[in-house]
Amino acid sequence: MEGLDKLGRPFVAVVPPGFEAYMEENEIAYVTWDFSRLNEQSSELAESLIGMGVNVAVPLFEETVEWAGALNGRFREDPRLFTRYLLFRDKGMMKRRAQMAGIRVGLFEEAENKEHVTRFLNRVRRAMVKLDTDEPPMVHLKPTDAAGAMGHVTLRSLGDVDAKLGDSNFPCLLETHLEGQEFSCEAFIHEGKVRFLNITEYIKLGHTNFVPASASLETRRPAILRAIEGLVKAFEIEYGMIHPEFFITEDDTISFGEVAARVPGGHIFELIQEAWGFDPYAAFALCCDPSTTKEELDAIFPKPGDHEGFAGCVMVYPRKKKINRVKVPDALLEHPYYTRHNLFVPANTKVADRVAFGNHYGTVFFKGADPERVRDLLVEYDNHDFYLGEDDPPDEAAEPASPPEASSSPA
C-alpha cells in the first residue's frame, strides 16, 4: 500500500471482516470479504470492485490467489485466467502441467489414504531398481493446496506411513526427493516476458535466506532464466510475479519443485528491497497491471548485477519449551553488517509447536558488501540460541524484548 501511494496509484484493499477499524483509522479504501465463500454469489465481490473503478487484482497471500484469478478474469473478460490461477493452488495439477511442458519434475502421484502411500513407496523402490529388503527412497508428502512447507511430511521408510500419517494428511501429493541445491526465484513478468529476476539462496531451508544469491548460483543465471521462461510459457503467465522453487545439481540439471503466484514468505521481499534498492511490492502491482508502460518498468527495476549489497536474514525459533527472555549478543549488535532484529518474548511463554517454516519468534537481518561474510553470519547465528528459560543462569544483559516491529513480509 505504501509503494502504491508513492507511485500515485489508487487502490482498494480487500480484507477479511475484523479489519474495518484499522482501514478507517488509516483512511484506506477497502471492501470486506469472507474468503471462504466459494459459491456462485462470489461474483458480488467483482461487481463491488468494478463499481469502485478497480480493474486489476493483486494476490498477496496464498488463500487469495484463486480470488485474484477470478477477479482478473472478470476485469479482462477472459474466463481462462481463473483456471490458470487454479494451477498455482493445486500441487498435483501444477506438477502435471509442468511435466506436460517438458519441465523436469520428480516422480509424483496424488494419494487419498495410507494404502495409496504404501503402494507409491513400493512402486518408487521398484522403479529405482531397489531390492524388496531395501528401504524406499525418500518421499515428500504435501497437502495439494497449502502454501510452502505447510503440512509437509518426509517419509524415509515404510514404517513412517503408520507412524507419521493420519486422516488429516489426506488428500495429498507424494513426490520423490529431488537432488541438488534448493533455491527460489522471484520473477516479475509483464506481457509474458521476465522483466526482472531475483535468485534467493537458501543457506538452510526455512531458517536463513540470502539475496542476491552468491556466485555459485548467480553464475548459472542464464540456465535459471531459461527454466523460468519455460514455466512462464507452460503456465501461460502474462502478468504478475511468480515465486518458483528449483533444485540444481553440479552439472546444471534443474528440477522444478513448485511455484506460487503471491508474495513469498521468509522476508524475501524485504531482502530484495534491502539488496536491490527497489520496492518489490510496488513492482509486483505494476507487473499485474496490463496498462503499465515499459518506461515505468524500466524506472523501477535495476539491471542484473546492479545490486546495492547482499542481504540476509535468520528466522529464529526457540530451542526450549518455555522461555522468559531474549539475549542478543553484543558482538552481533556491534557488527557492521547487522541492521536490525525483532526478537520478542510473547505473553504466553510456552513455545508453540512450529508449523511448517512459519511462526518463528522474530528475525535478525544483515546487509553487507561481502557475500561470504554475510553467509558466515547467517550460519553462525542460525546456530545461536537467543532465547533463555527459567533454567538458564540469570544474566543482567538479558531482558524481555519489546513486541516485534510490524513486518510487511508474511512468515
Report DSSP letters for 195-217, one per residue: EEEEEEEEEETTTEEEES--HHH
pLDDT tens digits for 129-176? 666 667 668 899 998 877 666 788 999 888 999 999 999 999 999 999
Q: Say if 97 falls within a structural domain.
A: no
| Predicted local distance difference test score (pLDDT) of residue 133 | 66
Residue 172 belongs to domain with CATH number: 3.30.1490.20
First-to-final CA distance of the chain: 18
Domain co-membership, 190 together with 165? no
Domain co-membership, 303 together with 379? yes
| Predicted local distance difference test score (pLDDT) of residue 321 | 83
Domain co-membership, 138 together with 281? no
Residue 193 belongs to domain with CATH number: 3.30.470.20
State the burial class of residue 340 (Cβ atoms within 10 Å of its Cβ: 0-12, 13-18, 19+): exposed
Q: Say if 96 falls within a structural domain.
A: no
* Sheet of strand 181-190, all strands in order from the earlier edge strand to the far edge: 254-260, 239-248, 181-190, 193-204, 208-211, 310-315, 363-368, 338-341
Domain co-membership, 168 together with 240? no
Domain co-membership, 83 together with 113? no
Q: What is the C-alpha separation between 145 and 262, in angstroms, rounded? A: 14
Q: Say if 32 falls within a structural domain.
A: yes
| Predicted local distance difference test score (pLDDT) of residue 349 | 78
Domain co-membership, 241 together with 272? yes
| Predicted local distance difference test score (pLDDT) of residue 347 | 77
| Residue among 311, 364, 313, 360 at smallest CA distance from 342 | 364
Contact 311, 367 (CB under 8 A): yes
Q: Say if 102 falls within a structural domain.
A: no
| Predicted local distance difference test score (pLDDT) of residue 404 | 46
| Residue among 159, 205, 158, 152 at smallest CA distance from 175 | 152
Domain co-membership, 263 together with 388? yes
| Predicted local distance difference test score (pLDDT) of residue 407 | 41
Domain co-membership, 33 together with 72? yes
Q: Domain boundary at 127, 151, 176, which?
A: 176
Q: What is the C-alpha separation between 368 and 206, in angstroms, rounded? A: 21
- 242 has which bridge partners? 187
| Residue among 259, 204, 206, 203 at smallest CA distance from 231 | 259
Domain co-membership, 202 together with 273? yes
Q: Domain boundary at 141, 176, 211, which?
A: 176
- Say which amino acid occupies 406: A
Instruction: Give the domain range for residue 17.
Output: 2-87
| Predicted local distance difference test score (pLDDT) of residue 319 | 84
Q: Domain boundary at 176, 205, 234, which?
A: 176
Domain co-membership, 170 together with 254? no
Per the structure block, which three cell numbers stand in for 285? Answer: 502491482
> How many structural domains compose the chain?
3
Q: What is the C-alpha separation between 50 and 56, in angstroms, rounded? A: 10
Per the structure block, which three cell numbers stand in for 53? Answer: 473503478
| Predicted local distance difference test score (pLDDT) of residue 89 | 86
pLDDT tens digits for 182-198? 999 999 999 999 999 99
SS3 130: coil
Q: Say if 145 falls within a structural domain.
A: yes
Q: What is the C-alpha separation between 365 and 3, in angstroms, rounded? A: 21
Domain co-membership, 73 together with 163? no
Q: What is the C-alpha separation between 206 and 264, in angstroms, rounded? A: 12
Q: Say if 246 falls within a structural domain.
A: yes
Q: What is the C-alpha separation between 104 and 120, in angstroms, rounded? A: 19
Q: Say if 225 falls within a structural domain.
A: yes
Domain co-membership, 166 together with 236? no
Q: Say if 93 falls within a structural domain.
A: no
Contact 294, 344 (CB under 8 A): no
| Residue among 182, 180, 177, 181 at smallest CA distance from 125 | 177
| Predicted local distance difference test score (pLDDT) of residue 397 | 52
Q: Residue ranges of the chain with pLDDT lower than 70?
A: 38-42, 129-133, 135-136, 147-149, 353-359, 395-411
